[in-house]
Structures are given as structure tokens and as C-alpha cells.
Amino acid sequence: MQTQYPQPLGVSWVIAQLVLFLAILVAPFFDPGIPPTLLAVPLGLVVGAVGLLFALLGVLGLGTSLSIFPRPVENGKLKRDGIYGLARHPIYTGVILTALGYSIVNWSWLAIAFTVLLAFFFDRKSAFEEKMLAAKYPDYADYQTRVKKLIPWVY
């Protein structure tokens, strides 16, 4: 059964996401901030590395079901194992953690603010996406009750 989704709305989510990525990337150049503490750089690198690992495992876990658009691919399969047994949207979790690590390493309050906005954005984008996942996969509601959305065991 082929399900049609509104193309423009999916594209809008992707464009907004790219704008937020760019804002986080350039924020340290516009935010004089304060010099990082000795702990900031290693902490940021660890947070960023954990984020990269989450995102990479999420991408590898989805395989051919991966799409940049917030809707299920036509012949995709629902993933519930591996990293998807810890968080329903591990790629979003990974991107948020990577952005946070970058912000900490650069000790940029502006980048941290944009990262908080990115986390809120991914929460809303995943809520949009989950409506379509629930429509496509009958057992998605059960998966939602067992696995947290973005932060394993918490949220």
C-alpha cells in the first residue's frame, strides 16, 4: 500500500534543519563568549563523540530505510533493535549531542542556544514523523510505549 505524504512540508523541515545547522556552525564566530575552561574541550569532545556514535549507529541501523525527509520510505521497515532499542530517533539524538559538543568545545553561548533550539526542533519534527510512522506500522504505538523518543530511559 502506497501512502502519499505532503512533499512541501517535508522539504520545509529539511530546510529549517539545515538553517539551524548553519547557525550552530557559525555562532562561535559571532559570539566572543569567554575562554573555555580546561575541562570544556575534553568534555565537548566526549559529548560530540557520543553524538557521532549515536548518529552513525542510527544511520547504519536504518540502512535502506534512511531518508532525509521526515516520513517513512515506501518499502521501509520499522527498526526496533540495536540503537533503536535505546531511542526511537537516535540520529536526532546524535546530531543534538554533536552540536552540543561543538558548542562546548567552542565555549559559545550562542551556539548552545541554537543547540537548545535544535533539540526543540527535533522534538517537534519527530512528533510530526511519528504520526506517519504510526499510520504505516501498526505496532508503532507499542514501540512508543517501550522506547523513549530522544534520551534513552528518560525522554
pLDDT tens per residue across span 128-150: 999 999 999 999 999 999 999 99
pLDDT tens per residue across span 111-132: 999 999 999 999 999 999 999 9
* Cβ-proximal residues to 136 (8 Å cutoff; 6+ apart), any chain: 3, 72, 78
pLDDT tens per residue across span 82-94: 999 999 999 999 9
Residue 81 lies in a domain: yes
The reported pLDDT for the residue numbered 101 is 98
Q: If you ran DSSP here, which 8-state letter would residue 35 be given?
A: P
The reported pLDDT for the residue numbered 4 is 54
| Domain count across the chain | 1
Q: 35 vs 38, which has greater pLDDT?
A: 38
Using 50, 70 and 90 to split pLDDT, how confident is the model at 49? very high
Q: How far apart are CA 108 and CA 41, in angstroms?
A: 12
pLDDT tens per residue across span 12-23: 999 999 999 999
The reported pLDDT for the residue numbered 9 is 62
How many C-beta neighbours within 10 Å does residue 143 have? Answer: 18
Residue 99 lies in a domain: yes
Residue 2 lies in a domain: no
68 to 20, 26, 64, 104: CA distances (angstroms): 15, 22, 12, 27
Q: 52 vs 10, which has greater pLDDT?
A: 52
Three-state DSSP class for residue 4: coil
* Domain residue limits at 118: 8-146
The reported pLDDT for the residue numbered 24 is 98
Using 50, 70 and 90 to split pLDDT, how confident is the model at 74? confident
